[in-house]
Structure 1
Amino acid sequence: MSIYMQQLTNGWQVCATWENECLLAQPLVRGGENLRSITPWIPARVPGTVQDDALAAGLLPDPFRERNSLACEWTAHRDWVYRRHFPIGSLPQGHSFRLCFRGIDDACVVYWDGRPLMRHEGPNEAFCTYIPNPGDTAREHWLHILVHSAPKEVGQLGRTTETHTRKMRFPYKWDFSTCLIPLGIWRPVTLEASRDGWFIDRPVVRTQYDWVSRSGHVGLETRLQLHPETDPPSSPIQPALTIEAPDQKERTEQKQHALSPGRFTFEHSLSRPELWFPHSIGASPLYRLELCCPAEEGNPLAGPWTPWHFQAELGFHNTTLEPNPGASDDALPYTVVVHQRPLPVCGANWVPADQFPGRVTPRRLDALLSMAQQAGINMVRVWGGGGMEQDAFYRTCSRLGILVWHDFFLSSSGIDNEPPRSKATLAALASEAEAVVREVSQHPCLALWCGGNELMDCGTFTPCTTQASPAIQLLEKVVSNLDPNRPFLPTTSSGPNFGLSLEALDGHQRLDDAHGPWTFQGPKDHFQLYNRSTALLHSEFGVEGPPELETLLEITTEANLWPPDATNPIWDFHAAWWNNRDRVEAVFGETASLSDYLVRAWHLQFAGLRYAAEANRRRRPHCSGSIIWQLNEPWPNACCTNLVDYYLRPKPGLYALKQAFAPVVASARLSAWYGTKPGQLPEISLYHDRFPDSPIPNHRLIATLFDLYGECLLSTELDLESHPTQQPIPFQCAATLPSSVCILRLQLPACGFVNDYLIGTAGPPPLSPLAGFDQADVHQEPQASGRFLLTNRSAIAAVGLHLSLPSRTPASPWPLLSDNHFCLLPGESRMISAAVTTEDNLHIQGLNLLPSNHE
């Protein structure tokens, strides 16, 4: 006997109806001719979302442009009905059938030939339903899916105690998104056929590595189900199991005979398997597992039908959390250890990649995660206000060697942040958690589980502990039962106090796992705050900044982009939480044009985020790492904390991390962005650090202070073998300097590392003197293979260079360049490379470039 399957990706239509209209029309006649719809039947993409289908059909304005999302909000408050036609003869005779849904958002009813088969609620839980045996198959059939209107739920501002559904929270409005609540069949749908009535549930796969025996164990568990209208057959089912080693070095095949209904398992051991590591400390080899039912001999199904099969990519990976050196005895452990090797966490928070997750493609995920990997990011945190990601997300992380910290889907709400306690909500939470753990835990990229985002005690507003919350106790139990070898944290931040601030530090609050701040804190306080931080793990913080002009023009016209502040209704609609013109002017002085605002705000995000990440790294290993808020965005913001914009264009913050997360770095600790008196530098100390397995021979640090004309004001060269990492090296200038802006350049010649800091010597605003200098002229000479030679042909330094390489293809990601946001001294050249072959020139902008370089 055999089982067959086909993916139901084509032939779908969808329409909107009034609430409960579909229930009134039961039974549905043929294709729903008796259903009173409020939109015509339109083509539907599965997987997808109804809003994306309505947009493609011209029923909605572009919800990402200007304030158009307000005109699209009605879509969440209507029922939607999908339909798919099965013509005469499309279902093979003599077979039983089962429909399998990987995920529908949210509450739904499945109809076959007009009559309901089952109801389901919960977007992250897969489910299956049996089709009544058709008997005479010489007739047509109709499949309908009613997707109910979105339930009322809490957005960013409200009470977490009142959350009661498993819907993603962010589409109800969050600081980085608008209010657009997705609905639809967002994950694949499969139709299965079996001649003898047997069906195999989607397996759960586990791997484990034993350090004593140096062996790897693979376990696969599933259930054999019988169609309720079929008698048990006498013939056995014989699925074949294949495990293929990386690079097809080895194949292992097994067969399981005479399986009986109910639970069954496959077990296999491998001697000395290749181990999976995050990319920053090793290779990430993947084994390929396949379980399949061979085709029947003599009468196999053809056409869209293929033999039933299940595939998974496996890796032998073990992550633990160990205590941080110097931490309090009762502190939770935050040092990530992979295969007994400590890993400095260079992380970023991940939010859903689109406001409508059903339309996220593997290509989009690959572009975002590849940019993260190139920037040195070795961990992403799946944030608790979103939802479970598509398979392609976890597969891509596993392939690229990026660890995943996975929140369960609970989040703060501002007014109260305590997890819900009602029995019904806890029961739904448990069901969802079990489904998510079973599905996600097979991926080698998964490092740890967390109860949710910023969950707190109602009375004290301090982070929740497991003991204080029934919801967190429940989640910990689910992990303990289903994925016992992975760590669990109760929430993040996990305290014992919530956030990093000067007030918290002045009050001597203990900060173990801390969140915040999310904006630039000012030309003095920003430096003081991160210098004084005591966090063992800084799992959420950021600095805001605008995207490229090309992205802003996707939002509105250039005329509507000024002024970039809350007085501009379109700008404010796309940046209300992150408007930063005042913070930009606190550093640069008054800003009178959009081009000046952009280059200044870009530099602010780069310099502010680089400093924060460097400051955390200077406290390694007491501080085990940084997880930046946030890598991506689901909706185009005019200003936000993300590192890559909605249109896949890297922002300055990503280059800041590329600098701060490099294997070997030199950094400067500053007391402020300016000196205490005109003509003076702030207090400066130099640091160097190298991650494990990053030895550099002839390790020298050259620190040079230049004026804007390239004259050396102070220089020192240090043999770092005599200076331990994480130890400060004073850098002082006794002479009075011009009241201007200086460039502090740190170089590690052995590895080509260069780090430029702009420092004010005229007082606040520290970089305002730049406006009084001549402008620089930077010339580029394109080389072969995506390389560009930049030369400063002027007598003044070109500072804060912002480079980009726009893609000619719409919706294609812009490449991450080898270097960005640096200075070129007079007459200096630098080679820039990109992993593309192009005839285009770089787009060069900067804080003091001639206007021709802005065009």
Structure 2
Amino acid sequence: MAIRAQELTDWEVRGFYPHVPHLGQSMETGVVMGGVTDWMTATVPGGVHYDLWAAGWIENPYYGMNSLNCEWVENRWWMYKTAFSFQPEAGEKVYLNLKGVDYKAHFYLNKEKLGFHEGMFAAVRFDITGKLKPEGNELIVLLEHAPDEMGQIGYTSRTWTQKSRFTYKWDFSTRMVPIGLWDGVSVETTGMASLDEVRLEPLLEEENGRLIASGRMTIDGDAAAGGDPVVVVSLFDDEVLVDESELVCKREGTNSLNWKLQLNVPAVRSWNPNGMGEAGLYGVRIRIEFGGKASDTWQGFTGFRTLEWIANDDAPDSALPYTVRLNGRRMYIKGVNLTPLDIQYGTVTRDRYERMVRLLKEAGVNLVRVWGGGIIEKEDFYDCCDRAGILVWQEFIQSSSGIDNVPSKDPHFLELLKETAEAALRVKRNHVSLACWSGGNELMDIEGMPSTFEDDNIEMLRRLVMEHDPGRYFLPTSASGPNEFLMIDQPGRNHDVHGPWKYGGPVEHYNQYNRSDSLLHSEFGVDGCCSTESMACFLPESERKVDTMENNPVWRHHGEWWDTLERDTALFGAPDDLEQFAMMSQWTQAEGIRYALEANRRRKFRNSGSIVWQFNEPFPNVSCTSLVDYYERPKMAYYWARKAYATKHISLRYDKLAYSAGEHFMAEVFLHNSGEAEAGSWSAQLFDETGRMHWEMNENVLMPDNGCLRITDIRWPVLDDSLEWFAVRLQLGQQDPNVYVFSLHGQHPFAWLRRLPPAQLEWSCRSTRTERGVDTHTFEVLNSGSSVAWYVSPASSHPAAPSGRPDWFCRNAHEVLMPSERRIFEISAAAGSGIEPSSFSFMSWNNNKQSGGR
């Protein structure tokens, strides 16, 4: 909130041993004590590790085991400094605003100490009116070493900081504890009247919208002669003024004033989640006029929608409400859990947030859980979610620790937690995407039961939510119980549950999800390897071979918990090379995730939704439960989850993956629809390795309105013991089909996928269009051979960016093409990136080398 703002970006940083900068020179000799490092260029927002890497003081901390050589960084003090000029105008108040200081800091302006701050998520703001020189001002931020906090394993009850804990070591990241200025720093001005806080309450009433804007302002004590301030609120639809209202605030002897105004929007464009319509946004501008001129301003966006959390169908009376009703229509949660985008979270830019949210939207995600072991993200993330129609479940910064998971009652911790919560509540409440708050991740009592409002820590947060964001839903923790973890042998207790995070095997995995009675499955997953292209970015060449986490310390450093070699060897046999191993591992992850999502969705509104653990990873891992790896390369599981989350979908319910002669294969086919009732068609075929069709059905159908419909059963006697496999192919209208594969062998049941007869592919780019700065190339791919082409995907000869991230994205991949079948693939890249259609080729698991473009 400001009239004028100047970002401070020209920074340097230098490292010191603890307390040295406070003393300055030796008591014994008088010698000025030098730093651990020299002065180096600093990036703000950013972090010290990034600057040290850029300056050559440390090697790439994401590569190999280099991060072990960086652990000294968190144990040093770091001094940031910048010089700037800023000339205030007459009557202006001047403030220094630091949005993200990590973690304990001392602040000096022109050698005068401004103050001290501890924390990470509350902005630091100093009134520096009268403290600036006409030019050549020097600002110093001295950061103490990082506090000693626990990583994933420890005692939650002993937590004492509000520092993001995942950086101290988690299953998806190494230990690399950031220090630095992780969000922006600016000099800002207001007049004598300034906004302290703003609250937007957008209301949707049939076809009209109503915005109640309120807040608090402060008038400087020296401004007694300024008269009464005026608040003006303006509402815009794509820069066109929709309504404007103003209020004269009578001072009546006080300099702290509350205000409230109402604006109206006829024929409002409602805000809808991804997959349910347009995410209509309106611009809001709030201006204070005092003494005849502008004194302070605030700008943002809002959207008009109604959101309630209601009871699930057939839910026990003791259950919390877990179903979202948005704009009067129930919304099935198609969710993912988000970790911070980078272990050095200060380096995450607006562009990276936009790319990540684009991946979320393309995957059909309509809700993202911002996990309590990470961070409260920068404003850019929530802005992107507002625009994309993705609801946000925001957790406060608390997480389980394994040894005990009891929320901390340490008085100092609670004070810091309160500061974090209030700062978050006052800012994030104005985002239309915000769906709910949660006390934290996997918080429990001493008996291992999920925490409730009876816990003093959680009750404090509940009161803060009621005070600062009344009406917003607040969950005590996730999972909220009564079972913490999914336990199918305890039906009726699996309300909001977590787990499992591993593939259960070719029988038990399906038994577990077929029998689940969860009301909300807010965290679960399956692990899988990243691609070999990504491995080349962080593994030394000598380590790019099939190995295990137990045997290889470098692999263990990049994904210790998530070794899949034994699992995948049991399914496929021993892999021939690393490329094949990565493919096997990704297939198992994709199969496991797809089945879990479809099984939950078959119980729609008895089960209110799935929230996959996890969407992304903040550090590169050989294997992890993420759908998208550190370099933003989607895994096979991403694409299969995308299908399972489609607005209209067709799925197969089955009991296991391997059969033998004499058994009957039995399955059920379901239609899923998140939209309105609509006529359509579907088809299903059961075929074997010879291409012979054993069962086939085609029908027209009325898609159920926002529901799920069982449409047929498949029953096929398995008689031919000479076959290795069979498959079921389901297709809804013209959508890409779903293909489910089954084996007729008990040992290494999917070894046949490693010795497929070759397929032949031909492809051509049919068109290129440019919209909003994005080139989209449409390719047609033909399976011109006589064999099924398994898991067809694009590849590009265009080099990746220096970051290792590809500059292109394919909307569909890992597709199965029958002989003579054609499929459309859409590939997008930034306009002007130089990525040409000729750089793309298409491959399958059994691609014939003679295949090619045309």
Question: Please, what TM-score do these two structures have when normalized by structure 2?
Answer: 0.91
In the TM superposition, what is the alpha-carbon distance from 1:168 to its structure 2 partner? 0.6
Aligned to 1:839: 837
Alignment CA distance shift 1:234-1:782 (3 Å): closer
What does 1:713-724 correspond to in 2, within 5 Å? 713-721=694-702
SS in 2 for 1:276: coil
Residues 349 and 628 of structure 1 are in contact (CA less than 8 Å); yes or no, is this contact kept in structure 2? yes
Aligned to 1:97: 94
Which residue of the other structure, out of 743, 761, 777, is the alignment partner of 2:727? Answer: 743
Distance of 1:671 and 1:213 partners within structure 2? 47
Residues 599 and 845 of structure 1 are in contact (CA less than 8 Å); yes or no, is this contact kept in structure 2? no
| C-alpha distance after superposition, 1:659-713 (max 9, x if no partner) | 10111111111111111x24756432211121132x332x333210122342212
What does 1:790-805 correspond to in 2, within 5 Å? 790-805=781-796
SS in 2 for 1:466: coil
Which residue of the other structure, out of 214, 218, 224, is the alignment partner of 2:218? Answer: 224
In the TM superposition, what is the alpha-carbon distance from 1:368 to its structure 2 partner? 0.7
Aligned to 2:691: 710
Alignment CA distance shift 1:317-1:278 (3 Å): same
Between stretches 734-743 and 252-261, larger displacement belongs to: 252-261
Aligned to 1:241: 233
Query: Is 1:496 aligned with 2:496?
Result: no
Aligned to 2:498: 515
Aligned to 2:110: 113
Residues 584 and 601 of structure 1 are in contact (CA less than 8 Å); yes or no, is this contact kept in structure 2? yes
Aligned to 2:562: 578
- Output the amino acid matched with 1:647: Y
Which residue of the other structure, out of 402, 405, 409, is the alignment partner of 1:414? Answer: 402
Residues 761 and 852 of structure 2 are in contact (CA less than 8 Å); yes or no, is this contact kept in structure 1? no
| C-alpha distance after superposition, 1:561-583 (max 9, x if no partner) | 11232222222211211111111
Residues 761 and 843 of structure 2 are in contact (CA less than 8 Å); yes or no, is this contact kept in structure 1? no
Distance of 2:4 and 2:703 partners within structure 1? 66
Residues 507 and 655 of structure 2 are in contact (CA less than 8 Å); yes or no, is this contact kept in structure 1? yes
Which residue of the other structure, out of 69, 72, 75, is the alignment partner of 2:73? Answer: 75
Aligned to 1:153: 149
Alignment CA distance shift 1:659-1:417 (3 Å): same
Aligned to 2:823: 830
In the TM superposition, what is the alpha-carbon distance from 1:727 to its structure 2 partner? 2.9
SS in 2 for 1:56: helix
Residues 85 and 140 of structure 1 are in contact (CA less than 8 Å); yes or no, is this contact kept in structure 2? yes
Query: Is 1:376 aligned with 2:359?
Result: no
Residues 324 and 624 of structure 1 are in contact (CA less than 8 Å); yes or no, is this contact kept in structure 2? yes
Residues 709 and 825 of structure 1 are in contact (CA less than 8 Å); yes or no, is this contact kept in structure 2? no
What does 1:436-515 correspond to in 2, within 5 Å? 436-458=424-446, 460-467=447-454, 469-500=455-486, 504-508=487-491, 510-515=493-498
| C-alpha distance after superposition, 1:706-754 (max 9, x if no partner) | 22342212212344449993436320112513431212101223x4351
| C-alpha distance after superposition, 1:418-437 (max 9, x if no partner) | 10122222222122211111
What does 1:26-41 correspond to in 2, within 5 Å? 36-41=34-39
- Output the amino acid matched with 2:12: Q
Query: Is 1:663 aligned with 2:656?
Result: no
Aligned to 2:278: 283
Which residue of the other structure, out of 344, 353, 360, is the alignment partner of 2:332? Answer: 344
Distance of 2:839 and 2:84 partners within structure 1? 53
Distance of 2:449 and 2:709 partners within structure 1? 31
Between stretches 242-251 and 682-691, larger displacement belongs to: 242-251
Aligned to 1:269: 263
- Output the amino acid matched with 2:461: L
| C-alpha distance after superposition, 1:762-800 (max 9, x if no partner) | 224221133444222323223222122222233221223
- Output the amino acid matched with 2:694: L
Alignment CA distance shift 1:679-1:800 (3 Å): farther
Residues 558 and 621 of structure 2 are in contact (CA less than 8 Å); yes or no, is this contact kept in structure 1? yes
- Output the amino acid matched with 1:53: D
Between stretches 811-820 and 11-20, larger displacement belongs to: 811-820
Residues 103 and 126 of structure 1 are in contact (CA less than 8 Å); yes or no, is this contact kept in structure 2? yes
- Output the amino acid matched with 1:673: L
Between stretches 482-491 and 781-790, larger displacement belongs to: 781-790
Between stretches 554-563 and 353-362, larger displacement belongs to: 554-563
Distance of 1:609 and 1:722 partners within structure 2? 24
- Output the amino acid matched with 1:125: A
Query: Is 1:589 aligned with 2:573?
Result: yes
| C-alpha distance after superposition, 1:384-439 (max 9, x if no partner) | 00111111100000001000011111111111111012222222212221111111
Question: Over aligned residue pairs, what C-alpha RMSD do you find?
Answer: 2.9
In the TM superposition, what is the alpha-carbon distance from 1:216 to its structure 2 partner? 1.2
| C-alpha distance after superposition, 1:208-247 (max 9, x if no partner) | 31648954132131332538xx575546655653221246
What does 1:550-561 correspond to in 2, within 5 Å? 550-561=533-544
Between stretches 355-364 and 284-293, larger displacement belongs to: 284-293
Alignment CA distance shift 1:210-1:845 (3 Å): closer
SS in 1 for 2:619: coil
Aligned to 1:755: 738
Residues 674 and 681 of structure 1 are in contact (CA less than 8 Å); yes or no, is this contact kept in structure 2? no
SS in 1 for 2:484: coil
Distance of 1:842 and 1:616 partners within structure 2? 37
Distance of 1:439 and 1:806 partners within structure 2? 44
Aligned to 1:9: 8
| C-alpha distance after superposition, 1:632-680 (max 9, x if no partner) | 11111111111222222222121111110111111111111111x2475
Distance of 1:326 and 1:485 partners within structure 2? 25
Residues 209 and 304 of structure 2 are in contact (CA less than 8 Å); yes or no, is this contact kept in structure 1? no
User: How many residues are treated as equivalent by the alignment?
Assistant: 827
- Output the amino acid matched with 1:832: F
SS in 2 for 1:733: strand
| C-alpha distance after superposition, 1:291-343 (max 9, x if no partner) | 3468999xx9xxxxx98532111112332110000111111110011122100
Aligned to 1:200: 194
- Output the amino acid matched with 2:210: G
- Output the amino acid matched with 1:485: G
- Output the amino acid matched with 1:186: W
Aligned to 1:303: none
- Output the amino acid matched with 2:40: I
Distance of 1:586 and 1:131 partners within structure 2? 66
Aligned to 1:649: 633
Distance of 1:662 and 1:139 partners within structure 2? 58
Distance of 1:621 and 1:95 partners within structure 2? 56
In the TM superposition, what is the alpha-carbon distance from 1:446 to its structure 2 partner? 0.2
SS in 2 for 1:40: coil
Alignment CA distance shift 1:680-1:850 (3 Å): farther
- Unaligned residue ranges in structure 1 (runs of 5+): 28-32, 301-305
Distance of 2:366 and 2:322 partners within structure 1? 15
Residues 8 and 84 of structure 2 are in contact (CA less than 8 Å); yes or no, is this contact kept in structure 1? no
Aligned to 2:774: none
Distance of 2:210 and 2:436 partners within structure 1? 20
Distance of 1:310 and 1:555 partners within structure 2? 43
Question: Please, what TM-score do these two structures have when normalized by structure 1?
Answer: 0.91
Distance of 1:580 and 1:721 partners within structure 2? 42
- Output the amino acid matched with 2:285: E
- Output the amino acid matched with 1:690: N
Query: Is 1:535 aligned with 2:535?
Result: no
Alignment CA distance shift 1:169-1:404 (3 Å): same
Between stretches 93-102 and 716-725, larger displacement belongs to: 716-725
SS in 2 for 1:775: coil
In the TM superposition, what is the alpha-carbon distance from 1:508 to its structure 2 partner? 4.2
Alignment CA distance shift 1:91-1:461 (3 Å): same
Residues 249 and 259 of structure 2 are in contact (CA less than 8 Å); yes or no, is this contact kept in structure 1? no
- Unaligned residue ranges in structure 2 (runs of 5+): 769-776, 830-834
- Structure with more strand by fraction: 2
Which residue of the other structure, out of 663, 675, 696, is the alignment partner of 2:678? Answer: 696
In the TM superposition, what is the alpha-carbon distance from 1:816 to its structure 2 partner? 4.0
In the TM superposition, what is the alpha-carbon distance from 1:494 to its structure 2 partner? 0.8
